[in-house]
Amino acid sequence: MDQTLLVSLILAALVFLYLGIGMWLFTGLIMVSITALYVLLDFPVDRIGLVTKSMLWRGSTIFEVATVPMFVWMGEIIYRTDISTRLFRGLGPLVRRLPGQLLHTSVLGCTLFAAVSGSSTATVATVGRITAQELITRGYEKQSVLGSLCAAGSIGILIPPSIVMIVYGVLAEVSIARLFAAGFLPGLLLSGLFISYLMLRSLMRPASVPAPADNDEKTDWARVVLDLAPIVLLIACVLGSIYAGIATPAESAAIGVVLALAIALVSRQLSWRLLGDSLMGAVRTSCMICSLVATAALLSTTMGYLHIPLNIASTIADMELTPFQLLLLLAVFYTVLGMFLDGISITVMTLPISLPLVQAAGYDPIWFGVFLIVLIEMAQITPPIGFNLFVLQSISAESIWYIARASLPFFLLMIVSLVILTVIPNIVMVLPNLLF
């Protein structure tokens, strides 16, 4: 174990060294692998070149990775249309009688938008631009508005389709369709916890919400249906085609892109500029994600040559931790790591070690994927490098620390959700087992 610890510390030092001098994550992780192979394993240069070339090629040609660009492009198209504005307008009449009133539009809007974006930051940015200033102007407590929006935006990587889920599925070699099904109920659970908290807070602090609007005002339900129809149609077609067995995740992503373009065309928002901007945004994001997936294959191979996952797994097994103690240890580890890294990077760098451990403890890799994604959600609202915090800072002009404090109750609710999912794992597994 002493040798494994030393090798692990050397790898960590190499990561900090290469990233610290300003290398991109993709380049830095490749250099970590090459340095480790050359210095620690004394591989000849020609063999290092062969391993690097073969693993990067293998990682970049995995069929499931083709799903990423299409889902990202779909989200980029929706981001550039008025669907999010219509979503907020359509949800308003549905929640005005609840304690907290329009506060719930942020949570529900993020939950619905998550089902077409696949990204946490895209969800909070899109819904936040519509709801944040509008709710604050109407007299809702700023802390509740920003805190709920920051946390609810993180549901974007739990409700399918999720880009992080696709990356996890590729690396863990599990069914992406089953992962998508597994994330659905936990996403609704988290959304329900947020809404329940906002209702309770509003009842305990009536001054945090403005006076109720006239509930006798007639609701134009036809307008509500028209406003919500585009996003509901997208969700039904994209996820429905997967769960009905009509299309694979990659094919359903293509269906989503065609529908998103059709919606933009019918609503007279489709233009060459929208098409070009959405394509460029999708290319940038997809290249970043796919390059990290390819790097993960090389890094995992390097760690395998060094026997790090096997030795760490043996050491933890010797500690005779119970399954719950192992999950607690991993939860603390990922929470700390999430303070400094984004979700995809965390998944890429740690999965070769953590996945064998949880499988040895008897946990299903599908279940652990959802558990891990909730931990990554927590990282999105954790300073100093919580990406949702930065997005909301640009929208609200409040400090990172103010938004982090506003998000703290929702961070604690995420911990509650992890406890619930651990005690009742069927919340995660019931849909995958039922549908596939």
Report pLDDT for 88.
77
CB within 8 Å of 179: residues ≥ 6 apart: 160, 162, 165, 168, 169, 366, 369, 370, 432
Report pLDDT for 63.
67
Report pLDDT for 388.
82
Distance CA 158, CA 163 (A): 9
Q: Which of 12, 163, 14, 186 is nearest to 74 (CA)?
A: 163
* Domain ranges, ordered by start, for the chain: 2-61+290-435, 64-144+165-170+194-206+218-285
One pLDDT digit (tens) per residue for the chain, 436 residues: 567 778 778 887 887 888 778 788 778 888 888 998 888 888 888 888 888 888 888 777 776 677 778 888 887 888 788 877 787 788 878 887 888 788 888 888 888 878 777 777 777 877 777 788 778 888 888 888 899 988 988 888 888 888 888 889 988 889 888 999 999 999 999 999 999 999 999 888 887 777 665 554 567 788 888 888 888 888 888 888 888 878 877 788 888 889 989 988 988 888 999 999 989 988 887 787 778 778 877 877 887 788 776 677 667 767 778 888 889 988 888 887 777 667 777 787 788 888 888 888 889 999 999 999 999 888 888 887 677 887 788 778 788 889 889 999 999 999 999 999 999 999 999 999 988 7
In the block, tokens 């067995």 appear at 245
Six-digit token string for 45: 């240069």
Report pLDDT for 217.
56
Distance CA 221, CA 219 (A): 6
Distance CA 376, CA 397 (A): 25
Distance CA 235, CA 229 (A): 10
Report pLDDT for 365.
94
Cα separations in angstroms, 251 against 19, 96, 116, 246, 434: 36, 38, 15, 9, 22
Report pLDDT for 1.
52
Report pLDDT for 83.
78
Backbone angles phi, psi at 89, to 5 degrees: -65, -35
Report pLDDT for 310.
67
Distance CA 187, CA 158 (A): 6
